[in-house]
Structure 1
Amino acid sequence: MLVGVSRGVSHRPPGQIELFHRDMPYVDAAWETKVSLFDRPNDRLLRSIPNPGENQSADVTLRMHCPWDFSASSSTETWVFAATEWGIITSTVLQAIGVRSIAQTPVNSEVKIITPSAWSKAGLIRSGVEGDRIAVVPLGVDPHIYYPVSGDRRQLLRESFGWSNYFIFLNIGGQTDRKGIRPLLKAFAAVVDKYPDARLVLKGSELLYPSRDEIAEACRVVLNDAERARVLPRLIYTGSQLSFAQIAEIYQAADVYVSAYLAEGFNLPVLEAVACGLPVICTEGGPTDDFTRSDFALRIESKLTAVVIEGETLFMLAPEWEHLTDLMQRAIEQPGIAARARVADPGFVADNFSWGRSVDRLLEVMGGDKRSEEKSIFEPIIL
């Protein structure tokens, strides 16, 4: 999408915002949404944001679409949302932009970048973007959608899903290699050897990724015959497109959220799970370090690894599946982990990572608020 923001104009009260929005086509022109992600009031509210006029002027233009467009706008400031997963801007992304290097764009002279994590900022800097051209603005959640439910409500949800008698590990995402499906399956195979009542719920998105095929291939590659015999009857999968409220119910009914990712720009499902009061098990050293804490998160030991793929050096985190196995078993054996998370999670998210907080930070950055010049808690690690 392309967003124009008009602010601080003389005939408006100081700080008042006027917002215009124009949708940009998705990179795959054939894709279209089948389900409204929002409830009706929010859906109507979003649809009511006006399109910019033919000669509409704005103080700030924010672009959020692929491929990234770093050309200058008619606004005083131009910002582009950009995230790196693999520790660099990949050649595929550069080809889509139409350049061989990010230095061939106006990003270091005219346009600035908003990125969601310190890990992503480090990747942009490694690729040639000047650090002072980048602002970290984390993503957020809506605490009115993602929140812990009462014990009775949770039990009803579990019954409706057929989960009443099981310990549920949950993962939501594209189920591609970089999102950690292989170490997750390997660890789960070891867990169910000891705890056969455990189940692994995987929510993919068949509209965007061939998740079912990715899971099948991962099972074939990383599991032996005995492991597949244990794992396959205990996998629960859906690739349906669901609304935010439906996704929240899946979090609310699960026991633990697990993300053994290799490369992510932010990993929003981990934050959503935290908001719903779930303990999370996630890879150490990546973007989730920005928004997880020891009182509700167990971090998987990982090794930063440089890999060469088709002549290009990428950076990924290699989570130790043996340590992941230990953490998953600990989550089953120590119910106090879930109890602590249920208390610690929601307040932490509401205070620090709601969408309201994200918007406040965004406006500080784009509006030149002095608070945005203070040292951020999100600092990149340059590798």
Structure 2
Amino acid sequence: MDGSVELQIIVEGWRFIYHSYCVANQFQLLEMLASRRENIEIFHRDMPYIDRAWETKISLFDRPNETLLRSIPSPGVNQSADVTLRMYCPWDFSVSSSAQTWVFAATEWGVITRNVLDAMGVRSIAQTPVNSQVKIITPSAWSKAGLIRSGVEADRIAVVPLGVDPQIYYPAQGDRRQSLRDNFGWSNYFIFLNIGGQTDRKGIRPLLKAFAAVVDKYPHARLVLKGSELLYPSRDEIAEACRVVLDDAERARVLPRLIYTGTQLSFAEIAELYQAADVYVSPYLAEGFNLPVLEAAACGLLVICTEGGPTDDFTRSDFALRIESKFTAVVVDGETLFMLAPEWEHLTDLMLGAIEQPGIAAKARVAGPGFVAEHFSWRCGVDRLFEVIGGDKQGEDQSIFEPIIL
């Protein structure tokens, strides 16, 4: 490279919190800033959080990356560029002053929900300029299908998957893994792990029901749930799920074997949870991508996740077991949503099999990290992003991430 700037990008978004849009934005920014991309000039405009209570005092990254993120210059008030990329909610589909305007948008429930539309101040996505000059990047075929089902024209959307940083998410070897398990107090247990908001759509109810059956046979099993009290009332969601789906005998088995933390952790600390666990379990009902499944695979964990959703894009049989599910339309407060209903009995069988057949996890420990590093690093994701904003979005989007409209 000769050092000349070939592409100017203004990113408008969130930083420094553990929200999915923010996580994607920060890692994309760091990859764009990598030395091999010296012909890219980046500006960042911080957008207000939906809730000021989201502000956190901890550093999510190590000091060099934190410093790098904070060093990105802000654009001028009326500054234009080759591309403006918006990475925040509510979505803004108005045309920017840049040559191209792209909006990151993900749908979980198979459609754009009423809550999202209300936040934008419209009753329908058709009341926005979404099908004019602005285009959308979305992280999965499932999410793309939801946008199309809601009225977004297919040629306005490009699938750009999320990724992982292999310098953070990788398997811990030998003594290091044992040391982590000792520090967490997990040495004598078989650890099932789940990380996320612990809301109904994340699958907390089928997970608890299946775990109750697992510990009836294997009382040394433990379920570790990492929530985020900053963003969601995860502890309350778990308590409510226990009351709803478990009977008295099941609660008596589950509660002493349930380990919960809602503490804010850095990305490196989150990686240690993956590195120390035995299996990652995600019986989700509705997701736009489900990044923790990808992070877990990168750390060498066998993953058990719902079949038919966005994780189909980036999981393979040599490191992932898919839970049988049924695509279901549900009406909630007069609104039709679409979800995947995972079969908790099949989930139970898969969790039992993970304990009884250790060779499955041993195979995943090798296959998962290699696959993710090759195909779903943040470098791969940002390469794809640059293909898209450079006008080359046909081909890969069609062959690998072709959506199924249900």
Give the TM-score normalised by the residue count of structure 1.
Answer: 0.95
Are 1:364 and 1:372, in contact at CA under 8 Å, matched by a contact in 2? no
Residue among 42, 58, 62 paired with 2:65: 42
Cross-structure match for 2:184:
161
Cross-structure match for 2:122:
99
Q: Which amino acid aligns with 2:73?
A: P
Q: What CA deviation, in whole Å up to 9, does each residue of 1:139-176 have, x standing for no partner?
A: 00000000001111100000000000000000000000
Consecutive unaligned residues in structure 1, runs of 5 or more:
6-13
Consecutive unaligned residues in structure 2, runs of 5 or more:
1-10, 14-24, 29-36
Map of 1:257-276 to 2, 5 A cutoff? Answer: 257-276=280-299
Cross-structure match for 2:220:
197
The whole-number CA distance in structure 1 between the counterparts of 2:120 and 2:126 is: 12
Q: What is the SS of the residue equivalent to 1:170?
A: strand
Work out whether 1:2 is the aligned partner of 2:25.
no
Residue 298 (structure 1) shift:
0.4
The whole-number CA distance in structure 2 between the counterparts of 1:375 and 1:194 is: 45
Aligned residues: 375
Cross-structure match for 1:220:
243
The whole-number CA distance in structure 1 between the counterparts of 2:404 and 2:38 is: 34
Cross-structure match for 1:26:
49
Q: Which segment drifts farther, 116-125 or 94-103? A: 94-103
Cross-structure match for 1:10:
none
Work out whether 1:67 is the aligned partner of 2:90.
yes
Cross-structure match for 1:114:
137
Work out whether 1:300 is the aligned partner of 2:323.
yes
Q: What CA deviation, in whole Å up to 9, does each residue of 1:210-259 have, x standing for no partner?
A: 10010010000000000000000000000000000000000000000000
The whole-number CA distance in structure 1 between the counterparts of 2:235 and 2:57 is: 19
Residue 371 (structure 1) shift:
6.7
Are 2:53 and 2:230, in contact at CA under 8 Å, matched by a contact in 1? no
Residue 30 (structure 1) shift:
3.0
Q: Which segment drifts farther, 366-375 or 50-59? A: 366-375
Q: Which segment drifts farther, 102-111 or 157-166? A: 102-111
Are 1:102 and 1:128, in contact at CA under 8 Å, matched by a contact in 2? yes
The whole-number CA distance in structure 1 between the counterparts of 2:86 and 2:400 is: 25
Change (3 A) 1:370 1:173: closer
Change (3 A) 1:174 1:288: same
Residue among 322, 347, 371 paired with 1:348: 371
Identity of aligned residues (%): 84
Are 1:361 and 1:372, in contact at CA under 8 Å, matched by a contact in 2? no
The whole-number CA distance in structure 2 between the counterparts of 1:40 and 1:376 is: 39
Could you list the structure 1 runs, at least 4 aligned residues long, displaced by more than 4 angstroms after superposition: 370-374
Q: What is the SS of the residue equivalent to 2:97?
A: coil
Are 2:158 and 2:393, in contact at CA under 8 Å, matched by a contact in 1? no
Residue 104 (structure 1) shift:
1.3
The whole-number CA distance in structure 2 between the counterparts of 1:75 and 1:325 is: 51
The whole-number CA distance in structure 2 between the counterparts of 1:68 and 1:17 is: 25
Residue 15 (structure 1) shift:
8.4
Q: What is the SS of the residue equivalent to 2:106?
A: coil
Work out whether 1:324 is the aligned partner of 2:347.
yes
The whole-number CA distance in structure 1 between the counterparts of 2:81 and 2:142 is: 31
Residue 373 (structure 1) shift:
6.8
Work out whether 1:147 is the aligned partner of 2:170.
yes
Q: What CA deviation, in whole Å up to 9, does each residue of 1:31-69 have, x standing for no partner?
A: 202211111011111111100023322011001111000
Map of 1:72-87 to 2, 5 A cutoff? Answer: 72-87=95-110
The whole-number CA distance in structure 1 between the counterparts of 2:221 and 2:77 is: 57
Residue among 227, 231, 242 paired with 2:254: 231
The whole-number CA distance in structure 2 between the counterparts of 1:132 and 1:192 is: 49
The whole-number CA distance in structure 2 between the counterparts of 1:180 and 1:278 is: 19
Are 2:90 and 2:120, in contact at CA under 8 Å, matched by a contact in 1? yes
Q: What CA deviation, in whole Å up to 9, does each residue of 1:260-306 have, x standing for no partner?
A: 00000000000000000000000000000000000000000000010
Q: Which segment drifts farther, 320-329 or 15-24? A: 15-24
Work out whether 1:135 is the aligned partner of 2:158.
yes
Are 2:158 and 2:397, in contact at CA under 8 Å, matched by a contact in 1? no
Q: Which amino acid aligns with 1:55?
A: N
Q: What is the SS of the residue equivalent to 1:282?
A: strand
Residue 372 (structure 1) shift:
5.9
Q: What CA deviation, in whole Å up to 9, does each residue of 1:293-340 have, x standing for no partner?
A: 000000000000100001000000000000000000000000001110
Q: Which amino acid aligns with 1:19?
A: I
The whole-number CA distance in structure 2 between the counterparts of 1:111 and 1:201 is: 42
Are 1:298 and 1:327, in contact at CA under 8 Å, matched by a contact in 2? yes
Are 2:136 and 2:158, in contact at CA under 8 Å, matched by a contact in 1? yes
Residue 78 (structure 1) shift:
0.5
Work out whether 1:278 is the aligned partner of 2:288.
no
Work out whether 1:182 is the aligned partner of 2:214.
no
Give the TM-score normalised by the residue count of structure 2.
Answer: 0.90
Change (3 A) 1:370 1:91: closer
Are 1:365 and 1:372, in contact at CA under 8 Å, matched by a contact in 2? no
Are 1:108 and 1:133, in contact at CA under 8 Å, matched by a contact in 2? yes
Work out whether 1:314 is the aligned partner of 2:364.
no
Q: Which segment drifts farther, 30-39 or 193-202? A: 30-39
